[in-house]
């Protein structure tokens, strides 16, 4: 006794298919004519690898299946299938560009941290006389540290706010310039938690 039913499967909200314009998928029912016709190519399939199976092992199994199909149908073209990981399929030729961008941003952040550290040390050395006078007037170590931390917090908060505004503007410019050739560029956004951490870690 057969059952006729409709099955709806909802994907998670953060699921990101290769083609972002797709809203839903419907199963394709192969007819007997389709199954017998080996002169059909161009199908794209998405699947999960079994646990412990690498891309190379799966490719070897697919090659064996395709070879068997060709032996059974020698008059048909010798089609082959090529497997890619989802990361390779999405990033593709932009991987080197993304790595270069990541390295450039890392070097820039390193230079900024070194320069800010030098500025803080220079400012502390220049204010030794002021701190000595304040200590002579009765300020204890806790008060001196609290004063320095308050100044650093205000400067960091102001710099973080300005950096947030500039980052928003630069993100729009980045999406306008590189949105066409960088994969999933439309999902780029500023993270509030990371921005707060970077602002609070300023010297």
Residues in the chain: 203
**Residue-by-residue DSSP string for 9-27:** -PPPTT---SSTT------
195 vs 120, more confident: 120
Q: What is the mean pLDDT of the chain?
A: 76
The yes-or-no verdict on residue 170 having pLDDT over 70 is yes
Q: How far apart, in whole angstroms, are the C-alpha atoms of residue 165 and residue 195?
A: 11
Residues 6+ apart with CB under 8 A from 164: 190, 195, 199
Residues 6+ apart with CB under 8 A from 185: 174, 175, 178, 179
The yes-or-no verdict on residue 58 having pLDDT over 70 is yes
74 vs 17, more confident: 74
The yes-or-no verdict on residue 13 having pLDDT over 70 is no
The predicted structure's pLDDT at residue 7: 67
What Cα–Cα distance (Å) separates residue 118 from each residue in 115, 123, 132, 184, 197?
5, 9, 21, 38, 21
Q: How far apart, in whole angstroms, are the C-alpha atoms of residue 57 and residue 33?
A: 31
- The closest alpha carbon to 76, from 37, 42, 43, belongs to 37
| Chain centroid, CA 57 distance in Å | 27
pLDDT band at 181 (very low <50, low <70, confident <90, very high): low
* Mean pLDDT value across residues 46-67: 88
**pTM to 2 decimals?**
0.50
Q: Which two tokens stand for residue 121?
A: 């040390």
Q: How far apart, in whole angstroms, are the C-alpha atoms of residue 120 and residue 152?
A: 9
The per-residue pLDDT for range 133-143, each reduced to its tens digit, is 778 888 788 88
pLDDT band at 60 (very low <50, low <70, confident <90, very high): very high
Q: Which two tokens stand for residue 11?
A: 């994907």
Q: What are phi and psi of 82, to 5 degrees?
A: -120, 130
Residues 6+ apart with CB under 8 A from 70: 76, 78, 79
Q: How far apart, in whole angstroms, are the C-alpha atoms of residue 130 and residue 119?
A: 17
- The closest alpha carbon to 147, from 118, 117, 162, 127, belongs to 127
């Amino acid at each position: 006794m057969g059952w006729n039913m409709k099955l709806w499967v909802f994907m998670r909200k953060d699921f990101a298919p290769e083609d972002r314009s797709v809203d839903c998928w419907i199963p394709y029912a192969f007819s007997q004519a389709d199954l017998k016709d080996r002169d059909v190519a161009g199908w794209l399939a998405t699947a999960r690898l079994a646990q412990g199976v690498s891309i190379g092992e799966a490719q070897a199994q697919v090659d064996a299946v395709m070879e068997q199909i060709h032996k059974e149908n020698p008059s048909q073209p010798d089609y082959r299938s090529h497997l890619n990981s989802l990361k390779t399929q999405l990033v593709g030729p932009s991987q080197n560009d993304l790595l270069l961008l990541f390295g450039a941003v890392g070097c820039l952040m390193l230079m900024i941290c070194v320069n800010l550290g030098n500025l803080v040390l220079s400012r502390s050395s220049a204010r030794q006389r002021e701190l000595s006078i304040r200590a002579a007037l009765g300020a204890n170590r806790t008060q001196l540290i609290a004063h320095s931390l308050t100044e650093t917090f205000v400067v960091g908060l102001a710099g973080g706010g300005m950096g947030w505004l500039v980052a928003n503007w630069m993100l729009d410019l980045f999406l306008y310039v590189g949105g066409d050739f960088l994969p999933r560029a439309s999902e780029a956004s500023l993270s509030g938690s990371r921005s707060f951490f970077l602002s609070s870690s300023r010297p």
